[in-house]
Amino acid sequence: MQADYQLIIIGGGPAGLSAGLYAARGRIKTLLVEKGAPGGQVLLTDWVDNYPGFTEGVSGFELIEKMTAHVDRFGLEKKFAAVTRLDLPGPVKTVFLDNGEKLTCLSIILCTGARPRKLGVEGEEELTGQGVSYCATCDGPFYKGQEIAVVGGGNTAIQEALHLTKFADKVTVIHRRDELRATRILQEKAFANPRIDFLWNAQVRKIEGDANGVNNVQIAFKDGSAMDLAVTGIFILIGVAPNNEILPLEQLQVDDAGFIISNTEMETSIPGVYVAGDIRSKNFRQIVNAVGEGANAELSAEQFLAGRKHEAGPH
């Protein structure tokens, strides 16, 4: 069967880079396609403290720099272009790029990742970039000496609230329940930090501001009460949404939120099509998981290419 590549990996975050590393070492004719710079959501993270081997922690930027250097050492071919469309069901799969190119391959690993979820309240859209942010690493330094808010109670919200205390005088965490979802060590650090306050059982109703940016957040509590919180910035860190716009969702099995369903071998419902990282339907989104899934997906693809595994399909 003729195709430009044996394998195309879509997305250059930790999952895609890990798959690329295994493919390059397996001498599989592979292309990794990435629309921006490699890295994905890790680049939104200031500090990674739970990646094994980095005993003192590592910045998101440095971790990606090292992962990229690692695939480069084994000569992985990369192309920087946006995928506009995919044709997946047949034995030869086609990847359409925004530069007009059309590439064919025999197997594909989807590593398109996820992006921060939006709150969907009044003022959020209009004030994005003017006080409303989804990335503490990118925008934290703008809030030196100011009072800001963080929405959410997961790992991202608490880790980034801690990071934001390096700049802001006060960080108020607004959480819709009365306990955090974040891992214990982050909770302990946040509760011990004098610059972090909590508003429990609290939901943002409206974000207000003017030409100078955000100046107030309207908050409603479970018991029916309400308050205004005067802040100049609000970081919305409430989970992730799938980057699935370019995926043929009618051809793939996806969950209710639009994440791709696979089995433990990373096989999707289409033979020769694999998934890894945050775009995969699962409970836990960790860098180590993404990296493990990338390796697993590539090894499954290798078996498929060698004809040792015939059909794919999750459930």
Which of positions 218-257 make contact with ligand NAP (CB under 6 A)?
Answer: 237-240
Q: Cα–chain-centroid distance for residue 291?
A: 13
**Crossing angle of helices 14-25 and 60-73, rounded to 10°:** 20
111 is catalytic: no
Beta strands 102-110 and 5-10, pairing class: parallel
284 lies in the binding site for ligand NAP (CB under 6 A) = yes
SS3 for 64?
helix
285 lies in the binding site for ligand NAP (CB under 6 A) = yes
How many whole angstroms separate alpha carbon 143 and alpha carbon 151?
16
Choice from 35, 115, 181, 205 touching ligand NAP (CB under 6 A): 181
215 lies in the binding site for ligand NAP (CB under 6 A) = no
Which of positions 117-176 make contact with ligand NAP (CB under 6 A)?
Answer: 119, 151-157, 159, 176
276 lies in the binding site for ligand NAP (CB under 6 A) = no
116, 15, 128: which is closest to 71 by C-alpha?
Answer: 15
Catalytic residue among 49, 138, 169, 228: 138
Give whichever of 181 and 309 is closer to ligand NAP, judged by the CB atom: 181
Catalytic residue among 46, 105, 139, 278: 139
How far CA 228 is from CA of 206, 215, 218, 302, in Å, comes to 10, 10, 5, 57
Phi then psi for residue 162, to 5 deg, are -60, -45
Asked if 262 and 15 count as a contact pair (C-beta separation under 8 A), the reply is no
Give whichever of 223 and 311 is closer to ligand NAP, judged by the CB atom: 223
Q: Which residues bind ligand NAP (CB under 6 A)?
A: 50, 119, 151-157, 159, 176-177, 181, 237-240, 284-286
Give me the active site residues, please: 135, 138-139
